Structure 1
Amino acid sequence: MTNGKLIIAAALVCLANTGFAQTEAPVTVKSEPGKVTVSDTVKTTSTVVGVEPETRTVWLKDPKGKVVQVVVGEEARNFDQIKVGDMVKAEYSQALTVSLQKGGAPLTANETQTLDRAPAGAKPAGSASREVTIMANVTAVNHQSGVVTLKGPQGNSVDVIVQDPEQLKRIKKGDQMKAVYTEAVAISVEPVAGK
Structure 2
Amino acid sequence: MRSRKIIVAAALVSFATAGLAQTEPKVGVQSAPGKVSVTGTVKTTSTVVGIEPSTRTVWLKDAKGKVVQVVVGEEARNFDQLKIGDVVTAEYSQAMTVTLKKGGAPLAANENQTLERAPMGAKPGGTASREVTIMANVTAVNHQSGVVTLKGPQGNSVDLIVQDPSQLKLIRKGDQMEVVYTEAVAISVEPQAK
Partners of 2:141 and 2:41 in 1: CA distance: 32
Residue 53 (structure 1) shift: 2.2
Q: Which string of whole-angstrom CA distances, capped at 9 and with x for unpartnered residues, describes residues 153-183 of structure 1?
A: 1112222111100000111111100000000
Residue 24 of structure 1 corresponds to 25
> Does residue 120 of structure 2 align to residue 120 of structure 1?
yes
Matches within 5 A, 1:85-124: 85-124=85-124
CA contact (8 A) 1:20 1:46 kept: no
Structure-1 residue corresponding to 2:182? 182
Distance 1:132 1:164 in 2: 25
Cα distance, 1:68 vs structure 2? 2.0
**1:39, 1:151 → 2: CA distance?**
24
Aligned-partner Cα distance in 2 for 1:16–1:192: 21
Code of the residue aligned with 1:137 in structure 2: it is N
Alignment: residue pair count: 193
Read off the aligned partner of 2:101 and give its amino acid letter. Q
Give 1:54's aligned residue. Answer: 54
Quick one: structure 1 residues 84 and 13, their matched pair in 2 at CA, closer, same or farther if it must change by over 3 Å? closer
Name stretches of at least 5 consecutive residues in structure 2 with no aligned partner: none
- How far is 1:20 from its partner? 5.2
8 Å CA contact 1:20, 1:44 repeated in 2 = no
Instruction: Say if 2:39 and 2:96, in contact at 8 Å, map to a contact too.
Output: yes
For residue 74 of structure 1, report the CA deviation from its aligned partner: 1.1
2:39 is equivalent to residue 69 of structure 1 = no
Q: Distance in 2 between matches of 1:8 and 1:137?
A: 31
Counterpart-to-counterpart distance in 1, 2:21 and 2:157: 38
Q: Which moved more, 1:179-188 or 1:11-20?
A: 11-20
Shift of 1:81: 1.0
Letter paired with 2:25: E
Query: What secondary structure sits across from 1:2 in the alignment?
Result: helix
Q: Which runs of 4+ in 1 moved over 3 A?
A: 1-21
SS of the residue 2:169 aligns to = helix
With over 3 angstroms needed to count, the CA separation of the structure-2 counterparts of 1:20 and 1:142, relative to structure 1, is closer
The residue number in structure 1 matching 2:3 is: 2
**Alignment check: 8 A CA contact 1:46 1:89 kept:** yes
Q: 1:33 matched to which residue of 2?
A: 33
| C-alpha distance 156-20 of structure 1, shift in aligned 2 (>3 A) | closer
Q: Which residue of 1 aligns with 2:148?
A: 148
Q: TM-score, normalised by structure 1?
A: 0.90
1:144 alignment partner, SS class: coil
Taking the aligned partners of 1:110 and 1:11, their CA distance within structure 2 comes to 23
TM-score by length of 2: 0.90
Which residue in the other structure is 2:168 paired with? 168
2:20, 2:43 within 8 Å by CA — same for their partners in 1?
Answer: no
Structure 1 gap ranges (5+): none
